[in-house]
Structure 1
């Protein structure tokens, strides 16, 4: 027996009541261990029995063996996935074993608790993060100002040759000639 099959079997043996062993045709209601539940006496919420990491491991192993239909719905396994898996499962379930023990732990169960799948905008397109947003998240400042800087840079580079020539000619005009006698040259734009 593979490790993946053993993991799914151990999960089912832990969670299913022993009533299935005595009455295999009964379809009992079992508390879904993948969902948080409210205690009717105290009114407090109890966390799920299996963490998200444990749920993900169980789903991976069940998917590898083809026993995905034996797990309850939860955050890591939607009801739609279970329905599609159960349609293709009967042939694979018989391969798991034909003994009396294998029959009772693979019996169908009604899981208590309803998993409400959240509808995320953009999930159908594949863009869940920025769906319905006008612009990207904050980001770095250089990322936010990049477009404005590049447009300004393009505008300045258009007539850069003329600007360089103008600068060189005015600079030459203002610098005194080393051959001529020294005289006061004003480099500033002030009148004195």
Structure 2
């Protein structure tokens, strides 16, 4: 199923699709290589001057890449940001451990193709369209959240006041024995003495 999906993609985009009418002036002309519009990248319409979105979404590209990597047909897909990352991961995996390229079963029973469209789906193609990589600050160091920021996010209020509260708590705990003794002495002095006559208390109040 994976090989058939990649094959259908190649037949649809290489054989059935038409060559782009307007080619970039800097692109070299190769007579033996077919030119097709890259369906994985946005395309600029020369008449309207507007950009058309990719024909295949990033989710569809990821599904095709998974199937192509499983069957060893990753080179048949057009270049894009996702295919470049997939090829880099495949190169790293092959460098660590050599992988034998699996044979692709296309489902044909004879050497001659029954459908004329199946004849050249593996031929080389020159994909027209520039792949623009999005540069994300901090991606190389693995910290994209706070890269390029002068300060961190404000966070919760208790997080902002945590440091000041910790300093005040440590200060109070440091002098806690003295504070407890001073508290007890204050109320001990205000306690009335039973040996003294009534009414001589310093803080005595009138009954009315």
TM-score by length of 1: 0.72
Q: What does residue 8 of structure 2 align with? A: 10
SS at match of 2:83: coil
Q: Alpha-carbon deviations, 1:95-145, whole Å to 9, x = none? A: 114856577323322111111212333222211222232332232222222
Number of residue-to-residue matches in the alignment: 174
Q: Please provide the CA RMSD for this pair.
A: 3.3
- Alignment partner, residue 27 of structure 1: 33
Q: Secondary structure at the match of 1:104?
A: coil
Counterpart CA distance in 1 for 2:83 and 2:189 is: 79
Deviations along 1:138-160, one digit per CA (max 9) or x if unpaired, are 32222222223223322322222
In 1: Cα distance, 2:121 partner to 2:90 partner: 17
Q: Give the distance between the partners of 2:104 and 2:87, measured in 1 at CA.
A: 18
Deviations 1:44-101 (A, max 9, x none): 22111111221222222222222222222224232x6547858x7xx637x1148565
Tell me how far 1:165 sits from its aligned partner: 2.3
- Structure number with greater Rg is 2
Rounded to whole Å, the distance in 1 between the matches of 2:43 and 2:171 is 63
2:136 is matched with which residue: 101, 120, 135? 120
Q: Structure 1 residues 171 and 12, CA, compared in 2 at 3 Å: closer, same or farther?
A: farther
Aligned in 2, Cα 1:118/1:169: closer, same or farther, shift over 3 Å?
Answer: same
Gaps of 5+ in 1: 20-24, 187-192
Once residues 76 and 178 of structure 1 are traced to their aligned partners in structure 2, the CA distance between those partners, rounded to angstroms, is: 89
Tell whether the 8 Å contact from 2:35 to 2:126 is kept in structure 1 after alignment: yes
Give the corresponding residue for 2:28: none
Q: TM-score, normalised to structure 2's length? A: 0.67
- The structure that is helix-richer by fraction is 1
Aligned twin of 1:153: 169
| Farther-moved stretch of structure 1 (42-51 vs 124-133) | 124-133
Quote the Cα distance in structure 2 between the aligned partners of 1:130 and 1:70.
38
